[in-house]
Structure 1
Amino acid sequence: MTTIDRGARPDLLANCADCFGLCCVALAFARSSDFAFDKSAGDPCVNLDDGFRCTIHPELRERGFAGCTVFDCHGAGQKVSQTTYSGKSWVEAPQTRSEMFAVFPIMRQLHELLRYLDEAIRMPGAASLRPELERAEAEVEALTESSAQSILDLDLDAVRAPVAELLREASRLVRSAQPQHPRGKRSKRVGPGADLLGADLHGQDLRGAELRGALLIAADLSDADLSGADLIGADLRDADLAGANLATAIYVTQLQMNAARGDARTRLPSTVVRPAHWAR
């Protein structure tokens, strides 16, 4: 099994043992192929026990909860539980319930930014941007350490915009070092925000491609070379990654891999683990 790169910040990995089951309570979901029943925001999932543990965790997919297996809070759950609320749960302090549940999704977005910044800081190709990236990381980190009310008052768009620009520039530097596409230019249909729903990209040379925000649901990326490709925000639900090379792809998250399909031949970045449900 692939192991997480411990050069990455461990606090940006979900640690359910230190969380008050926030993803299982604060968030809503609707009955679908991903969830077996409807649940309103703020209502505890019936599968959550008194110790904030999922009673069917090993069987989530088999029991109709595939959506739970692709969720990743990037460590926001334990940050809210142990830092923002000092280890006192919404059960112990019911007056904090609504506020805590509102803080959680905001914290998750802040931790997602930290996760991308952490990766960018560690990319050799973006070394020239490291001071700016580290400064941005410190600023976002300070926001995650602030009070619940301060977090609720945040203008997330204002926080996200300068970070997004830095991440984009880091991506440009890394991708520019990739070998040139053999035909001299990328296909017009491949690019930021591209609609590649169900696209046949089998065996394609996508080295250094900018696929940020691309719609790749159910796309065939089997045996494709995604070395140095930027996949930030790309929707890879049910995408076929069998045999694909993502070893040096950038901004790849565990959530994306959990939502996709791959096999033992799929080469992954060291920052994610091979999902248990993938073909062997």
Structure 2
Amino acid sequence: MYSADCEKCFGLCCVALPYAKSADFAFNKDGGTPCQNLNADYRCDIHKNLRNSGLRGCTVYDCFGAGQKISQVIYNGKSWRDDPAIAEEMFNIFPIMQQLHEMLYYLNEALSLEETHPIYTDLQEAMVKTEQLTDQDPKSLIDLHVPTHRALVNDLLLQTSELVREKFKKNMEHNKYSKKIRSRDLIGANLRATNLRGANLRGVLLIAADLRDADLRRTDLIGADFRDADLSGANLEGSIFLTQAQLNSAKGNHKTKLPPSLSIPNHWLE
């Protein structure tokens, strides 16, 4: 529901966002400047070869549908090329809308879980409120203090996590990695075939970690950094708050088990 539909967007992520030359980007780009690979039809000229062209960062970005909401709803199909006067405003709104849509993605998932019955009404109210915020006029969106609303949503997501992981807390009480998990640093860790079922991996750095054949069921993965982590054969079924962008940043194979709403990235099968 809250996923990007690039066919209905005016290439906003390719224009509005800045990036610096690094392992993820082959060149520098200023915010508000169109990427050199953006075509006149707002499609990427090298979309199928981004990873091999030094633009891996593009493959792990997700606007959660913010791009088409701005393009087709807020501006009624009028693009920054059609009317340069609205370009700066449109670009300023984009990261705000992206954050709101990301919250909607997580709230929608929380509402689908049986364990969240005790807070279902609160989740619904937060969902409605967030949707209302996305429907505001451009000036109101720019003036919106996103951290205030994010704090409200985050509290509900934390409650969701506790409810989902409640049955598996004992599994992590004596896990030898518990201290490292609390420190949020598992960079390069050897976690092969480790039972992490029900762990709170919220925001944990798992860069280049070996998670082959690991059990990540009912694990909270919101914001976990999976860049170059190896998920080959890992079981992520029933994990919560996992996104396609996180998977796109990782390694894996056809044996990796994923939630039904997500798919195996193409580069896993190459």
User: How does the TM-score come out when normalised to structure 2?
Assistant: 0.96
Cα distance in 2, alignment partners of residues 193 and 107 from structure 1:
31
Provide the C-alpha distance between the structure 1 equivalents of 2:183 and 2:259, rounded to a whole number of angstroms: 22
How far has the Cα of 1:209 moved from its partner? 0.2
Q: What amino acid sits opposite 2:152 in the alignment? A: P
C-alpha distance 81-225 of structure 1, shift in aligned 2 (>3 A)? same
Output the CA distance in 1 between the equivalents of 2:261 and 2:142: 30
AA partner of residue 31 (structure 2): A
Distance change (3 Å), C-alpha of 1:179 and 1:210: closer
Letter of the aligned partner of 1:94 in structure 2? Answer: P
CA distance in structure 2 between the aligned counterparts of 1:71 and 1:193, rounded to whole angstroms: 26
CA drift of 1:83 comes to 1.2
**Residue number among 85, 96, 100 corresponding to 1:110 in the alignment:** 100
Q: Distance in 1 between matches of 2:181 and 2:205?
A: 10
The amino acid across from 1:208 in the alignment is G
**Contact 2:169/2:199, CA 8 A, preserved across alignment:** no
- 1:162-181 alignment, distance < 5 Å: 162-178=152-168, 180-181=170-171
State yes or no: 1:152 paired with 2:142.
yes
The within-5 A match list for 1:1-280 is 10=1, 12-178=2-168, 180-181=170-171, 184-187=173-176, 188-192=178-182, 194-279=184-269
Q: Distance in 1 between matches of 2:5 and 2:182?
A: 32
More helix, by proportion: 2
Tell me the alpha carbon deviations over residues 101-136 of structure 1, each in whole angstroms, 9 at most, x when there is no partner: 010011000000000000000011112211110110
* Contact 2:17/2:31 (<8 A) preserved: yes
Q: Taking structure 1 as reference, are residues 117 and 193 closer, same or farther at Cα in structure 2, changes over 3 Å only?
A: farther
CA distance in 2, matches of 1:255, 1:193: 24
Give the letter aligned to residue 268 of structure 1: L
Give the AA of the match of 2:164: V
Give ranges in structure 1 of 5+ residues lacking alignment: 1-9
Taking structure 1 as reference, are residues 179 and 158 closer, same or farther at Cα in structure 2, changes over 3 Å only?
closer
Tell me, yes or no, if the aligned pair for 2:244 and 2:262 is still in contact at 8 Å.
Answer: yes
Give the match's secondary structure for 1:138. Answer: helix
| Root-mean-square deviation (Å) | 1.4
CA distance in 2, matches of 1:232, 1:122: 16
* CA–CA distance in structure 2, aligned partners of residues 29 and 184 of structure 1: 41
Q: Is the 8 A contact 2:191 2:210 kept in 1?
A: yes
Q: Which has the higher contact order (CA 8 A, sep 6+)?
A: 1
Q: Give % identity.
A: 49
SS at match of 1:47: coil
Aligned to 1:6: none
**Secondary structure at 2:53 match in 1:** coil
Offset, 1:251: 0.3
Q: Distance between the aligned counterparts of 2:180 and 2:265, measured in 1?
A: 26
In structure 2, C-alpha distance between the alignment counterparts of 1:132 and 1:192, rounded to whole Å = 28
TM-score (norm 1): 0.93
Q: Which runs of 5+ in 2 are unaligned?
A: none
* Residue-by-residue CA offset, 1:231-259 (whole Å, 9 max, x unaligned): 11111111111111001110001110000
- Structure 2 Cα separation of the partners of residues 149 and 275 of structure 1: 38
Given that 1:192 and 1:213 are in contact with CA atoms closer than 8 Å, whether structure 2 keeps it comes out as: no
Q: In terms of mean alpha carbon deviation, does 184-193 or 60-69 score higher? A: 184-193
Q: CA deviation at 1:179?
A: 7.5
Which residue type is aligned with residue 194 of structure 1?
Answer: R
Q: Write out the 4+ residue segments of structure 1 that deviate beyond 2 Å after TM superposition.
A: 177-180, 183-193
Q: How many residue pairs get matched?
A: 269
**Residue type at the aligned position of 1:218:** A
Indicate if the aligned counterparts of 1:241 and 1:261 stay in contact, CA closer than 8 A. yes
